[in-house]
Structure 1
Amino acid sequence: MSGPDLLVLHALRCVGTAGLERVAATTGLSESDVESELIDLAAAGLVTRFAEFGVWSLTETGRTADAERITAELESAGARPAVTEAFDGFLVLNPELLDLCTAWQLRSVDGVMIANDHSDSSYDARVLDRFADFHGRATVVCAQLSSALPRFGRYRIRLAEALGRAGSGELEHVADSTASYHAVWAELHEDLLVSLGIPR
């Protein structure tokens, strides 16, 4: 099972430069615990803090250490076959998710594609229904992953939270915030690539 130091290190690998709030959301740890881990990781030369922006980022040493530790975790758990199979399922779903995000951000009016200003609630509701259908299938992939490695369990929770908040009227949680369905899905994509050692 991943320790908090690896969870924090790996969160930065998957989200890039980020503040405490985003790393906490990604890992499920409290902001104070995240900050404590980041301070220790910085002392070890694995992360660096940009004080003027209040954000943290991996160093090159940190990227190397994360790759080594994530690979070791995968192999010691014997999880590579299960994660590889789940990744295949992810790749089947990925184009559909991208199409859904496009449908959310653009719509056709008289044959012309325009930005969706979300003034047509019935259109948005139809797209959200499609997201809900998609989510049912995405949950299967997330369950496969969390059974193989528990740290993947956060993705299922965060995707469900994003969809729930979008359905409650917080529309930025579809594709327009760092906590959006699209953003969490992109983090999962990056995590899978890093975990399996697949270059982009």
Structure 2
Amino acid sequence: MKQIRVLLIEDHFLARMALHSVLSGHSQIRIIGEASDGEAGIAMYRQHRPDVVVLDLRLPRVSGFEVIIELRKEFPGARIVVLSNYRGSEDIYRAVRSGAMAYLTKDASGEELLNAIQNVDRGLRYLPHVALDRLAERMPSVELTPRESEVLACITQGRSNREIAEELRIAEKTVRIHVSSVLDKMGARDRTQATIYALQRGLIHLD
């Protein structure tokens, strides 16, 4: 079984030790580094290139939000799990919008954290119902046509317009029209934001 190489970025010593204890007890997890602030966390990522980062949002020197943005800018494939005390919709939204693939609160069980890490390692998002419920507060209801719903599903899978056209057997020009309509109806600036909104409202579901 593949071991998932994990980097912990958490400023509180006891919390970091607790995380280390919980995760290192699983044979599938290998902790390859620990950092107590955002700047050190970024440096350790550059050095070790972990499979998954487990990150607190409130960090000294460089905030967790800034860490996410910097890592995703420098390493677009960086896979980040946020573990935070903050439950507000704004924190969850900002973290996911910045590029985090999972958001858990610190009262999550060790089993749920492991599940999140495993999903993120496979390239999947992991947002528990409590996070989706908070995010849903930010968005009004949306009504899409059946075709727009199909296009949205493809968008959330990261497919290009050409790939969507091949999947749905329609012209690429038609896809562009549908994508534009979906973004407009959802009030989304881009495909990433449309994916977040779709998760918020249950328009799509994660496996």
TM over 0.5: no
User: Which structure shows the bigger proportion of residues in helix conformation?
Assistant: 1
- Counting strand residues as a fraction of each chain, which structure ranks higher? 2
TM-score range, shorter chain: 0.3 to 0.5
Higher RCO (C-alpha 8 Å, min separation 6): 1
The normalised TM-score by structure 2 is 0.32
TM-score using structure 1 length: 0.33
